């Protein structure tokens, strides 16, 4: 059973340490990649430790694969403790057979004015990943902040992100090998300015986005949008959340205390989607929690209702 908002332990009994994460399915196994937060350090004291990965066959029970991209500076100066390293996501490139890992990246000692996207690759979903380079997205000299990557049915990969410094939401296509943006980004018509934490899926030929407002580490109301093409025009469907998280007393207006990280699609049920939120704890991020909840699509909108406990059987009932 999934139990949103309580400590989620791996098969060794340790709290799962993979924040701002995403899940990739490959050859019968789900891989959960997320940001490892160093125990005892606050966000202000540089808690980011790199990317940790877990594996599962059922999405409930997770085995720790350990660090697949540590911030130890080995091999590249960029990847040093003290940089800001957030929201890692992995996609598989069918032709190059590479697993490509993207992360939100601020260089050590340079604050958060300029936001890069870091790129690392591996031949195996279990890593290790090798850092390749960083790029500035959004056709902006200050780059982008929170982002989503969406792999379309034809294999094309899109980078969707909040642009710096104006916080417009932009969409750009990645190159055929996925490693760099290609061509100009477009402002996504219909997506409210200051939209962060985006996660994108496609369903019945329509693109859907779950996202948040922009309030630092503090929770705010979730946002949802849909569009006939990845570039828009996007239609707002408002806050998809309903209910209250009994563990912290926070309701839909604060996304149960969480912020979106990604959407997980079941391997055998592409219409069955799970919203992945983090409950951020910037003073002790090692203790941040996860909220995974099923998404239902009805009446032309998405809805995400709080559940204390649930299993994948909810999708069979639909």
Decide whether 63 or 110 has the Cβ nearer to ligand DGJ: 110
Least separation in angstroms between residue 174's CB and ligand DGJ is 21
Start-to-end C-alpha separation, the chain = 18
- Do the strands 301-305 and 241-242 form a parallel or antiparallel pair, or are they unpaired? parallel
| Cβ atoms of 211 and 201 closer than 8 Å | no
Contacts of 245 (CB under 8 A, 6+ apart): 4, 5, 251, 256, 257, 258, 291, 306
Decide whether 21 or 172 has the Cβ nearer to ligand DGJ: 21
| Cβ atoms of 203 and 275 closer than 8 Å | no
Decide whether 10 or 86 has the Cβ nearer to ligand DGJ: 86
Nearest in space to 133 (alpha carbons), one of 122, 114, 120: 120
Handedness of CA 78, 79, 85, 89 (dihedral sign): positive
Decide whether 87 or 93 has the Cβ nearer to ligand DGJ: 87
Least separation in angstroms between residue 3's CB and ligand DGJ is 23
Decide whether 213 or 272 has the Cβ nearer to ligand DGJ: 213
Least separation in angstroms between residue 212's CB and ligand DGJ is 7
Percent composition of the chain: helix, strand, coil (DSSP 3-state, to 5): 5, 50, 45
Decide whether 216 or 299 has the Cβ nearer to ligand DGJ: 216
Least separation in angstroms between residue 47's CB and ligand DGJ is 12
Residues 133 and 102: their CA atoms lie apart, in Å, by 10
Decide whether 10 or 196 has the Cβ nearer to ligand DGJ: 196
Least separation in angstroms between residue 162's CB and ligand DGJ is 9
Least separation in angstroms between residue 18's CB and ligand DGJ is 14
Nearest in space to 227 (alpha carbons), one of 186, 194, 267, 197: 186
Least separation in angstroms between residue 124's CB and ligand DGJ is 27
Q: Which residues bind ligand DGJ (CB under 6 A)?
A: 20, 86-87, 146, 196-197, 216-217, 259
Reading across the β-sheet that carries 130-135, which strands appear in turn? 84-93, 98-106, 116-122, 130-135
């Amino acid at each position: 059973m999934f139990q949103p908002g309580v400590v989620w332990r791996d098969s060794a009994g340790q709290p799962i340490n993979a924040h701002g994460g995403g899940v990739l399915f490959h050859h019968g196994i789900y891989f959960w990649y997320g940001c490892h937060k160093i125990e005892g350090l606050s966000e202000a004291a540089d808690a980011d430790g790199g990317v940790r990965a877990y594996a599962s066959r059922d999405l409930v029970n997770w085995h720790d694969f350990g660090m697949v991209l540590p911030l130890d500076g080995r091999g590249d100066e960029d990847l040093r403790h003290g940089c800001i390293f957030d929201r890692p996501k992995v996609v598989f490139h069918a032709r190059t057979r590479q697993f490509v890992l993207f992360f939100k990246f601020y260089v050590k000692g340079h604050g958060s004015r300029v936001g890069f996207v870091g790129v690392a690759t591996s031949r195996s979903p279990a890593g290790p990943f090798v850092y390749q380079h960083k790029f500035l997205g959004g056709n902006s000299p200050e780059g982008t902040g929170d982002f989503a990557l969406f792999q379309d049915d034809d294999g094309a990969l899109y980078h969707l992100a909040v642009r710096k410094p104006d916080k417009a939401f932009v969409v750009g296509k990645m190159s055929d090998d996925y490693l760099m943006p290609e061509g100009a980004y477009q402002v996504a018509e219909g997506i409210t300015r200051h939209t962060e934490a985006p996660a994108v899926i496609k369903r019945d030929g329509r693109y859907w986005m779950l996202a948040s407002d922009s309030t630092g580490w503090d929770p705010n109301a979730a946002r949802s949008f849909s569009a006939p093409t990845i570039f828009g025009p996007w239609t707002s469907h408002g806050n998809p959340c309903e209910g209250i998280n009994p563990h912290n007393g926070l309701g839909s207006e604060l996304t149960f205390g969480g912020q979106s990280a990604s959407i997980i699609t079941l391997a055998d049920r592409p219409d069955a989607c799970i919203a992945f939120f983090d409950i951020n704890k910037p003073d002790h991020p090692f203790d941040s929690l996860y909220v995974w909840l099923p998404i239902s699509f009805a009446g032309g909108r998405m809805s995400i209702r709080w559940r204390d406990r649930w299993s994948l059987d909810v999708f069979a009932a639909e």
